[in-house]
Copies of this chain bind each other. A is one copy, B any other.
Amino acid sequence: MVEDATSLNNLLTQFAELPGIKVLVHGGGRSATKIAASLGIESKMVGGRRITDAQMLQVVTMVYAGLVNKNIVAGLQARGVNALGLTGADMDVLRSHKRPLKKMVMDDGTEQMVDFGFVGDVDKANGEMLCKLIAEGVVPVMTPLTHDGAGNLLNTNADTIASKVACSLAPYFDVTLTYCFEKKGVLRNADDDESVIPVITEQDFADYRDSGIISGGMLPKLENAFEAIHLGVQKVVITRSDSINGEGGTIIKQF
């Protein structure tokens, strides 16, 4: 979403028009892959997830916290939004620890212990500090990097950051967490872009998962969504990035 200038401009305009208190969390993986390639660094992925070695950590730090984050901040300032770009290290808003080796099922079906490198699993989001900024009219723009408190930046999944930040703000506000992606919502039929499931309860999710209607990359997204609901977020919306202002998408809430 953030890689194409027109889409990004549309998203920023829509985001600027959103009423109320708001926080933006962005990614940038495609830009990182492109810049890494220009620097002669190969992007290694396992099961759709990036392996972040020392060189790749430098690249994602440049691309996420620099190129992507600061262009979003400047773009929002131009739209009258008092944006502030943040990694988790800034004001210690997101503390994490380096992910230990993880057992993964490879494409060939074998299991393997995978070292994801400089990747962070979030321990704590500092909702109190974010609230102080919000009280000053500041709109936090979060980049998918956290830190371990020992001087190391760690590459961290943007969906996870969005969920952790939403939960950290739940004691202070009625929070809606909106995940933007390239589809109109969670689809009943992957081949039919119009087959959006309007509402998913936890029981629905169990049924859809067991029957294979929902699978692949949507599973962790929905698990994140229900975790956020359990931790106090009012509503999660999964929608297309050109529709953050409108109706539609898939709604997940506590019933």
- Interface residues of chain A, those whose CB is within 8 Å of chain B, are 35, 38-40, 58, 61-67, 69-71, 73-75, 77-78, 82-87, 89-92, 129, 132, 136, 138, 145, 147, 149-153
Chain B residue, CB-CB nearest to A75: B151
Q: How far is the CA of A149 from the CA of B78 in the complex (A)?
A: 5
Set B40, B78, B85, B136: member contacting A132, Cβ < 8 A: B136
Tell me, in angstroms, the Cα distance from A127 to B153 when the chains sit together: 29
Known: A62-B62, A64-B66, A91-B138. 9 other contacts (CB 8 A): A38-B40, A61-B67, A61-B70, A65-B66, A74-B151, A77-B89, A83-B90, A85-B85, A132-B136
- Which one of B77, B90, B132, B149 contacts A151 once the chains associate, using CB atoms below 8 Å? B77
Judging by beta carbons under 8 Å apart, are A82 and B91 in contact?
yes
Question: How many subunits of this chain does the assembly comprise?
Answer: 2
Query: Could you jot down 14 A-B contacts, CB within 8 Å?
Result: A35-B39, A61-B66, A61-B67, A62-B67, A64-B66, A65-B65, A65-B85, A66-B67, A70-B153, A75-B151, A78-B149, A82-B91, A84-B86, A129-B136
Chain A contact residues, majority secondary structure: helix
Residue of B nearest to A85 (CB): B90
CB pair A92 B63 closer than 8 Å:
no
* Cross-chain contact B82 with A70 (CB below 8 angstroms): no
